[in-house]
Structure 1
Amino acid sequence: MPSLRRLFQYAGQYRRDAFWASVCSVANVFFDILPEILIGIAVDVVVNRETSFIATLGVTDSFHQLLYLGVITVFIWGGESLFQYFYQIRWRNLAQNLQHDLRLDAYRHVQKLPLSYFENKSTGKLMSILNDDINQLERFLNGGANSIIQVLCSTLMCSAVFFYIAPQLALIALAPVPLILFGAFWFQRRIAPRYAAVREAAGVISGRLNNNLLGIATIKAFTAEKFEAAHIFDASNHYRQTNAAAIQLSSAIIPIIRMAILSGFVVTLVYGGYLALHGQIGVGSYSVLVFLTQRLLWPLTGLADIADLYQRSMTAIERVLNLLDTPIHIHYEGKPLGQIKGALSFEHIHFAYGEQAVLKDISLHIAAGQTVAFVGATGSGKSTLLKLLLRFYDASSGNIKIDSMESKDIALLDLRRAIGYVGQDVFLSDASIAQNIAYGQSDVDMTAVIAAARAAEAHEFIERLPQGYDTQIGERGQKLSGGQRQRLALARAIFKDPKILVLDEATSAVDNETEAAIQRSLDKIARGRTTLVVAHRLSTVRNAHCIYVMEQGEIVEAGTHEILLAANGSYAALWRLQTGIRETEAALI
């Protein structure tokens, strides 16, 4: 049971809680099997009266014996109910606490993984692990763990009573029990790979649904509802077929266990009755054995369901623990950054995605407070260079320095706190506008929020919204236009007040008015900050202190706008292309 062992190791702090929950489960089983014994004692009282077992304890009157049994019955049922309450409370609280910790630990770990991990993983599969798989643990602890303990304890306790009353009968009647236990775990091992496939299929469905819900506007615009519904059908049908294969095997165990149980019950009924008829055991003892057989063997039919739930849970937990064991290549530890000026140096930077080289021997120096731009064709390595600065990835070789301090030596949180980032794909949380501008801050300073919004030229449109800065903007800011989302992203970066500002295609998907507004904002907020801009629209970077032109992972030109135009190289060709398009459009109008 490697998954169970790994779970025990992870949940070390909860071992005490699990111990007391198990104690309550065992106590509940003890009180649960006593009524069957009381039935046999009651039969003994009715049949033997003054010579019954209770009479040997000093209570000779038959009616008083029955009253005595009634008092004990109340005590036993009360104890059973009390410990059932205790074990349910303890197991369920343990399930909730462990589920909570495991989900948070897994999510925190995922946040620390490099971007390259997410490029190779489906978001839906990760969602399936963080949600569905962890919920499987809750289901197992809520009922499965207690059921396993109770089946094992019932077997031991009932077997002890059997061997005490009729050892020969016990050997025959209980012979199926080891076979039942062996069969349940044999099936469990056989079914494990099938449940692993079920969890993978569930992840595929989750990924497809997540992708479609995020792209619902595109699906509607292209009238692709039936097309995507067919994809969901295929994924759901694959999940159904995979589950059917697991169900086919798991369902076979119940009839087999039932027949094994039948043999044990028939032996007790017939052979035990024979012993009672010939006076070798009392009628009361015979009654105890018959009822205990029911109490012991029939619940074993639920062992198949327990094994099924156990295997589903362990398969799910294996995926969660494997996620937690995924190595973190970019570590958060390092030296504190402190106050910086913002000077940057890229020294002989090489980087590759797998075998594909993206950056080749990039070297450049950016003085503190300068604005530099990176332009070039898609795939030339511009955005990758900025991601290396933020340490979303680490360079294959070479160094990046901030004020002569190597970025790899800086504590990762300090490094990223010093950099304001605005990307092309704006992420906004389902919260208010103020909370999105002050993103990551528990206490929102409205004065600073409004100042940041004014600097990003977002204040006016925010004021026109129904609740102003308290307006809830929906998931990923879907209640706002693209330009409004981009201005909020810029305001968020300004609120951070970083020494280094990074803009990765921040104006590529906005209209001309929004672009002009963002450009005016940049002209103001870039003062005193080191600003790195990636842009396709050359008009937004013409005032940069230096423009770097990149092609196929290399810097092929560098200089100011005027110098690059005079050089009549790649930059000049891009400029003529863009301005030529605009002139043609103007002539047509």
Structure 2
Amino acid sequence: MRRDIALPAPPPAERHDWQTIKTLFPYLWHWRGRVLLALACLVGAKLANVAVPIVFKQIVDGFTPATPAQAFLIAPLALIAAYGVLRFGVSLFTELRELLFTRVTQRAVRTIALQVFEHLHALSLRFHLERQTGGLTRDIERGTRAIGTLISYTIFSVLPTIVEVALVLGILAARYEPSFALIAAATLVVYVAYTIVLSNWRVHLRREVNELDSAANTRAIDSLLNYETVKYFNNEAWEKARYDQQMQKWEAAQIKSQISLSYLNLGQSLIIAAGVTLMMWRAALGVMDGSMTVGDIVLVNAFLIQLYIPLNFLGVLYREIRQSLTDIERLFALLKENREIQDAPDARVLEPGPCAVRFENVGFAYEPRRQILHDVSFEISAGRTLAVVGHSGSGKSTLARLMFRFYDVGSGAIRINGHDIRQLTQASLRAAIGIVPQDTVLFNDTIEYNIRYGRPTASFEEVRAAARAAHLAEFIERLPDGYDTRVGERGLKLSGGEKQRVAIARALLKNPPILIFDEATSALDSKTEKAIQAELEQAAIGRTTLIIAHRLSTVMNADEIVVLDAGRIVERGTHRDLLERGGAYAQMWALQQQEERNAVAASV
């Protein structure tokens, strides 16, 4: 039986909390007016909150027997009114602060999320082939949520508590003996130190929980994305066991985290209880010796409650702030991910119009140890068609990826109208190329949306015309919802041939000067392939066309055919020329013709 070997935990990552805060600060300071007003409201709320116990003390003292009854009718009534106004003032300033800061928080989250989204689309295909979608989406989700959490806890919880602590300690020191302020300050210092020490100890537990959560999410999404494969091999139980294995680790880590949290909470409660007991004992002595009134002991008690209620959550706040900084750091790390393919500083826009394509001694390797293309050279004149054929793995599809600049060539150059594509803006380069890929993946939306994706501004009539050109209109019109039919995740509700025809319609709607057909009819039956082949040839008229094909019958009419073998061009010429030479192309042709005859004989 296979056993998973427990690997040693990785060393804790170096934290860059201040760097993260510095990176986040400009997004908030852009709204400096609102920020400053919100901070003013924060101070106003805390001043009102601290004033409430002071007024309440005066009211209590007004009830003492030594107070004349007539004086009580005037002064305490005014104090009671002031008490109500201050209570309302606390709520008023707090809500104003929330209203002012809401736009700041949400706009910062939106701006950063958009930047990350844009940056991820700007990263190379290599990054996206190596990424783990589940973990990546969870990092983005946690990072954007952490921005709101960090702002909420620091501006709305920690900062108000600091302001209130400073005010209370100042009042205690000014009005009473120094021992009151010393007891309160000592209790706060011990409480904060204990909280920080234990929270730091708990950090690795929280990090482990998050890492296991991301790993479980990655495993679940990977399994769901491959739903059909799971069903093909009857591996539901296997997938459930793998997912449960990850969730068991997550469960154990969560339990450890909760136990450590209980230790933290008990210690905090003990420190607060000791501090409150000392303060009340000292206040009771003051009342007994006549140096303090009953109102004073009420005031001291109210101050203690106001201080320690928010401090009860200090451990949670500290942990969440540290975790939020970690999550935001991961989000900003995505923004720092290197863009392998970037526009040159002096990149120019490719002018609209006919395009000629030339590969000049192109060499390329996905990895240094595995060369894919060797010294490949060919030219496609504007409006002409060139086909590239060869066995699987010969490097045919790599040519399309290089033309789109998903990767840069290792040596040589690719030129369009004489311009090295590395000196063109990526946007103008890709706008000039339309492609029907071998593996068509559709958005989980309607058929109309997926066709219109080729040119989002196209009218519905143009969408229908593209569908007709791809021999798709008749199929769509038979559907109950027609063009509003949803295609499902990655287009799984459609057959392979239907998806490929949607891709053809999408490319035709884009109407680019350069067309690439990468095994464009590989998922079609012979009858549909012949019908669409005529449409593709019609669409290619006047356009520079690169056809990448395995079926040689689809490239017979190309102006030139290039034969690739192990990344090298071994033959080139027209269909007739290559057959007459009796080389690699002729052998491939003979083999495919024999396969077709065998298939026909088997179907009879």
Report the TM-score range of the alignment, normalised by the length of the smaller protein.
over 0.9
Q: Is structure 2 residue 424 aligned with structure 1 residue 410?
A: yes
Give the distance between the partners of 1:10 and 1:502, measured in 2 at CA: 42
Aligned to 1:234: 245
Residues 198, 348 of structure 1: CA spacing in aligned structure 2 closer, same or farther, 3 A cutoff? Answer: farther
Report the RMSD for the aligned CA atoms in angstroms: 2.4
1:162 corresponds, among 149, 172, 187, to: 172
Query: Deviations along 1:275-303, whole A, 9 cap, x unmatched?
Result: 22112333322221122112212421110
Q: Which amino acid aligns with 1:81?
A: S
| SS across alignment from 2:30 | helix
| SS across alignment from 1:502 | strand
2:585 corresponds, among 568, 571, 583, to: 571
Query: Deviations along 1:166-223, whole A, 9 cap, x unmatched?
Result: 2222112320212322333344444444444433333323322322222223323433
Aligned to 1:339: 352
Query: Deviations along 1:292-323, whole A, 9 cap, x unmatched?
Result: 11221242111011112212211111111110
Q: Which amino acid aligns with 1:488?
A: V
Measure how far apart 1:501 and its partner are: 0.4
Give the distance between the partners of 2:525 and 2:496, measured in 1 at CA: 9
Residues 543, 405 of structure 1: CA spacing in aligned structure 2 closer, same or farther, 3 A cutoff? Answer: same
Query: Deviations along 1:74-94, whole A, 9 cap, x unmatched?
Result: 101111121222233334443
The answer to whether the 8 A contact 2:454-2:510 is kept is no
2:112 corresponds, among 102, 105, 125, to: 102
Aligned to 1:321: 332
Q: Which amino acid aligns with 2:544?
A: T
The answer to whether the 8 A contact 1:154-1:296 is kept is yes
Query: Deviations along 1:434-458, whole A, 9 cap, x unmatched?
Result: 3322216453312322222222222
Residues 239, 378 of structure 1: CA spacing in aligned structure 2 closer, same or farther, 3 A cutoff? Answer: farther
Measure how far apart 1:343 and its partner are: 0.8
| SS across alignment from 1:61 | helix
Measure how far apart 1:121 and its partner are: 1.3
Give the distance between the partners of 1:5 and 1:523, measured in 2 at CA: 57
Give the distance between the partners of 1:488 and 1:115, measured in 2 at CA: 23
TM-score scaled by structure 2? Answer: 0.90
The answer to whether the 8 A contact 2:58-2:76 is kept is no
Residues 236, 17 of structure 1: CA spacing in aligned structure 2 closer, same or farther, 3 A cutoff? Answer: farther
| SS across alignment from 1:181 | helix
Aligned to 1:55: none
The answer to whether the 8 A contact 1:180-1:257 is kept is yes
Larger CA deviation: 301-310 vs 325-334: 325-334
| SS across alignment from 2:480 | coil
1:505 corresponds, among 498, 519, 522, to: 519
The answer to whether the 8 A contact 1:336-1:410 is kept is yes
The count of residues paired between Structure 1 and Structure 2 equals 582
Give the distance between the partners of 2:579 and 2:389, measured in 1 at CA: 14
Q: Which amino acid aligns with 1:276?
A: V
* Paired residues for 1:533-544 under 5 Å: 533-544=547-558
Q: Is structure 2 residue 23 aligned with structure 1 residue 6?
A: yes
Measure how far apart 1:154 and its partner are: 1.9
The answer to whether the 8 A contact 1:128-1:203 is kept is yes
Query: Deviations along 1:468-526, whole A, 9 cap, x unmatched?
Result: 33434344333332212211111111111111001222222333333223312211111
Larger CA deviation: 409-418 vs 322-331: 322-331
Measure how far apart 1:533 and its partner are: 1.7
Q: Which amino acid aligns with 1:337?
A: L
Residues 144, 510 of structure 1: CA spacing in aligned structure 2 closer, same or farther, 3 A cutoff? Answer: farther
Q: Is structure 2 residue 249 aligned with structure 1 residue 224?
A: no
Residues 84, 461 of structure 1: CA spacing in aligned structure 2 closer, same or farther, 3 A cutoff? Answer: same
Larger CA deviation: 549-558 vs 267-276: 549-558
TM-score scaled by structure 1? Answer: 0.92
2:223 corresponds, among 195, 212, 226, to: 212
* Paired residues for 1:124-523 under 5 Å: 124-143=134-153, 145-166=155-176, 167-332=178-343, 334-355=347-368, 356-439=370-453, 441-523=455-537
The answer to whether the 8 A contact 1:24-1:87 is kept is yes
Residues 199, 102 of structure 1: CA spacing in aligned structure 2 closer, same or farther, 3 A cutoff? Answer: farther
Give the distance between the partners of 1:515 and 1:26, measured in 2 at CA: 74
Residues 555, 258 of structure 1: CA spacing in aligned structure 2 closer, same or farther, 3 A cutoff? Answer: same
* Paired residues for 1:81-96 under 5 Å: 81-96=91-106
Q: Which amino acid aligns with 1:19?
A: L
Give the distance between the partners of 1:296 and 1:557, measured in 2 at CA: 84
Give the distance between the partners of 1:225 and 1:417, measured in 2 at CA: 43
Larger CA deviation: 121-130 vs 7-16: 7-16
Give the distance between the partners of 1:481 and 1:515, measured in 2 at CA: 15
2:64 corresponds, among 44, 47, 58, to: 47
Measure how far apart 1:459 and its partner are: 1.9
Aligned to 1:54: none
Give the distance between the partners of 1:347 and 1:250, measured in 2 at CA: 65
The answer to whether the 8 A contact 1:165-1:285 is kept is no
Query: Deviations along 1:87-124, whole A, 9 cap, x unmatched?
Result: 33334443322222221111111000010111221111
The answer to whether the 8 A contact 2:28-2:104 is kept is no
Aligned to 1:585: 599
The answer to whether the 8 A contact 2:385-2:544 is kept is yes
2:35 corresponds, among 18, 38, 51, to: 18
Measure how far apart 1:142 and its partner are: 4.3
Gaps of 5+ in 2: 1-16
Q: Which amino acid aligns with 2:82?
A: I
The answer to whether the 8 A contact 1:434-1:444 is kept is no
| SS across alignment from 1:47 | coil
2:126 corresponds, among 113, 116, 141, to: 116
Aligned to 2:73: 63
Q: Give every structure 1 segment of 4 or more consecutive aligned residues whose post-TM-superposition deviation is greater than 6 Å.
A: none
Aligned to 1:56: none
The answer to whether the 8 A contact 1:430-1:477 is kept is yes
| SS across alignment from 2:156 | helix
Give the distance between the partners of 1:546 and 1:11, measured in 2 at CA: 59
Give the distance between the partners of 1:73 and 1:412, measured in 2 at CA: 66
Residues 426, 12 of structure 1: CA spacing in aligned structure 2 closer, same or farther, 3 A cutoff? Answer: farther
* Paired residues for 1:555-566 under 5 Å: 555-566=569-580
The answer to whether the 8 A contact 1:432-1:473 is kept is yes
Residues 409, 453 of structure 1: CA spacing in aligned structure 2 closer, same or farther, 3 A cutoff? Answer: same
Larger CA deviation: 518-527 vs 574-583: 574-583
Identity %: 33
Give the distance between the partners of 2:393 and 2:255, measured in 1 at CA: 45
Residues 117, 35 of structure 1: CA spacing in aligned structure 2 closer, same or farther, 3 A cutoff? Answer: same
Give the distance between the partners of 1:7 and 1:505, measured in 2 at CA: 47
The answer to whether the 8 A contact 1:368-1:530 is kept is yes
Q: Which amino acid aligns with 1:160?
A: G
Give the distance between the partners of 1:245 and 1:425, measured in 2 at CA: 46
Larger CA deviation: 485-494 vs 336-345: 336-345
Query: Deviations along 1:234-288, whole A, 9 cap, x unmatched?
Result: 2323333344444444443222222221221111011221122112333322221
The answer to whether the 8 A contact 1:192-1:315 is kept is no
